[in-house]
């Protein structure tokens, strides 16, 4: 199903016109493979997305292509497999006043994501403004029609954006759904990325994402921040926040300036939601701290474009206790 969007606003230097958004039917139509087998005791398994120079995900990779280290010490890759497990994910959409002219694009983007869902996938829709206005518009469901109807109910309200809080609460809800089952977890954030009024700090959010193994995919429509005149570095700070949330959790951040950019970003998100790699290895436990830092790179091969590996920055041997309740005495930086 294609979505017709009448675009009437400049985003950055590009003038957006009437265009069709792809529903990414190719990925949606794929039949998921069986869930990967549990790893051997003591082994570590990391999600892995591999992208080309053109920032497009690739599916053709061999175990020998991977170089992996933990705390700077080389590790031996044990297995590499495609991860097509069912996924539980949130779509968190900014409905604050600063996103007023962008909400139609966000709704259309959400519908593309919903249309790509497989029968085993479950999604919930969240709208957010300030910390006290973060609402579940549609609870977890595999029913596409319910999700599409819920997207049409979104509307803008005044208030100070609480991006960090919105992702934190969405990740909390995702982590509690099908807890203990073999499902992947993700949050898709659609926002300008400017956080003004969160109770949680970004550090606390990242710790939570690490503990609960939730990936963040951010679609940041940030170009308009240059023209709002609120803060000189608003756009830079927004990009830094969204990039950090994605990088630390093994997800990706996109910053579309045109509808073509948005369309490409959606295709990549849909692909990565439903099809990425799992790489496992037997850890040497070279670090003394609870959090073990990991790094994955892809070997350069003659006559092959350079490939970049995306995975979470590490894992906990002993996960810390993370308070799921915000500290209302502290504001995020």
With a CB cutoff of 8 Å and minimum separation 6, the contacts of 181 are none
Domain stop point among 274, 308, 325 = 274
Q: In this structure, are residues 73 and 284 in contact, taking their beta carbons and an 8 Å threshold?
A: yes
Say whether both 47 and 126 belong to one domain: no
How confident is the model at residue 327, as a pLDDT? 46
Token representation of residue 198: 């969160």
Check residue 16 and give its pLDDT. Answer: 32
102-128 as b/e: b if 16+ CB within 10 A: bbebbbbbbbbbbbbbbeebbbbbbbb
71 and 102 part of one domain = no
E runs forming strands in the chain: 3-5, 10-11, 14-15, 19-21, 43-51, 66-70, 73-75, 77-83, 87-94, 122-128, 134-141, 184-191, 215-220, 253-254, 276-282, 291-298, 308-310, 314-316
CA distances from 157 to 70, 86, 130, 169, 290 (A): 45, 34, 10, 19, 42
Across the strands, what pairs with 230? none
What's the structural domain count of the chain?
Answer: 2
Split at pLDDT 50, 70, 90, the class of 115 is very high
| Distance of alpha carbon 73 from alpha carbon 168, whole angstroms | 32
> pLDDT for 130-182, tens place per residue?
999 999 999 999 999 999 999 999 999 988 889 999 999 999 999 999 876 78
Tell whether 34 is covered by a domain.
no
**DSSP 8-state class, residue 35:** P
pLDDT at 230 over 80: no
The pTM of this model reads 0.85
Check residue 288 and give its pLDDT: 73
* Residue bearing tokens 């109770």: 199
Binned at pLDDT 50, 70 and 90, residue 64 comes out as very high
Residues 19 and 66 in one domain: no
User: HSE (CB half, 13 Å, CA atoms) of 268?
Assistant: 24
Same domain, 255 and 302: no
Given its phi and psi angles, is residue 265 left (phi above 0), alpha (psi -120 to 50 degrees) or beta? Answer: alpha
Please report, rounded to a whole number, the percentage of residues in the chain having pLDDT higher than 70: 80
pLDDT greater at residue 41 or residue 228: 228
> Which pLDDT value is given to residue 22?
42
- Mean pLDDT confidence for 233-242: 89
Lowest mean pLDDT segment, chosen from 94-108, 134-148, 223-237: 223-237
In a domain, 330, yes or no: no
> Residue 294's domain is classified under what CATH number?
2.40.30
Pair 295, 270 in one domain: no
For residues 58-73, average pLDDT: 94
Asked whether the predicted pLDDT for residue 326 surpasses 80, the reply is: no
The reported pLDDT for the residue numbered 159 is 81
Give the closest residue to 174 by CA, choosing from 206, 197, 208: 208
In-domain check, residue 326:
no
How far is residue 218's CA from residue 201's CA, in Å, rounded to a whole number? Answer: 18
Region 279-298 average pLDDT: 88
Q: How remote is the C-alpha of 262 from its chain's centroid?
A: 15
- Between these two residues, 156 and 290, which has the higher pLDDT value? 156
Q: What is the pLDDT of residue 168?
A: 96
257-292 burial, b if ≥16 CB within 10 A, otherwise e? Answer: bbbebbbbbbbbbbbbbbbbbbbbbebeeebeeebb
Same domain, 236 and 311: no
What confidence score (pLDDT) does residue 181 get? Answer: 72
74 and 154 belong to one structural domain = no
Same domain, yes or no, for 140 and 61?
Answer: no
What is the residue range of 168's domain?
3-28+85-274
Average pLDDT over the chain, rounded to an integer = 84
Q: Quick one: 294 and 216 in the same domain?
A: no
36 pLDDT higher than 50 = no
Residue 283 is assigned to a structural domain of this protein: yes
128 & 260 share domain:
yes
Both 173 and 112 in one domain: the answer is yes
């Amino acid at each position: 199903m294609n979505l017709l969007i009448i675009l009437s606003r400049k985003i950055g230097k590009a003038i957006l016109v009437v265009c069709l958004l792809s529903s990414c039917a190719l990925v949606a139509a794929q039949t998921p493979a069986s869930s990967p087998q549990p790893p051997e005791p003591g082994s570590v398994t990391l999600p892995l997305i591999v992208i080309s120079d053109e920032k497009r995900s690739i599916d053709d990779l061999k175990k020998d292509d991977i170089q992996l280290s933990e705390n700077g010490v080389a590790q031996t890759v044990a297995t590499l497999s495609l991860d097509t497990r069912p996924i539980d994910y949130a779509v968190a959409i900014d409905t604050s006043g600063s996103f007023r002219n962008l909400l139609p694009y966000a709704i259309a983007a959400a519908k593309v994501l919903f249309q790509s869902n497989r029968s085993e996938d479950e999604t919930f829709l969240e709208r957010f403004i300030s910390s006290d206005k973060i609402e579940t518009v549609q609870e977890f469901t595999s029913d596409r029609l319910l999700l599409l109807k819920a997207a049409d109910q979104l509307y803008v309200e005044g208030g100070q954006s609480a991006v960090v809080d919105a992702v934190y609460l969405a990740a909390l809800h995702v982590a509690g759904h099908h807890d203990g089952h073999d499902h992947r977890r993700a949050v898709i954030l659609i926002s300008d990325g400017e956080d003004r009024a969160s109770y949680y700090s970004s550090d606390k959010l990242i710790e939570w994402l690490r503990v609960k193994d939730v990936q963040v995919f951010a679609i940041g429509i940030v170009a308009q921040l240059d023209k709002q005149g609120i803060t000189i570095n608003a756009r830079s700070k927004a990009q830094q926040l969204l990039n950090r949330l994605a990088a630390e959790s093994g997800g990706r951040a996109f910053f579309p300036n045109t509808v073509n950019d948005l369309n490409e970003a959606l295709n990549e998100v849909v692909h990565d939601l439903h099809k990425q790699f799992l790489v496992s290895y037997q850890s040497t436990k070279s670090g003394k701290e609870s959090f073990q830092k990991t790094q994955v790179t892809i070997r350069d091969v003659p006559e092959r474009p350079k490939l970049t590996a995306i995975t979470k920055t590490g894992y906990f041997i002993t996960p810390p206790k993370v308070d799921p309740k915000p500290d209302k005495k502290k504001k995020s930086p």
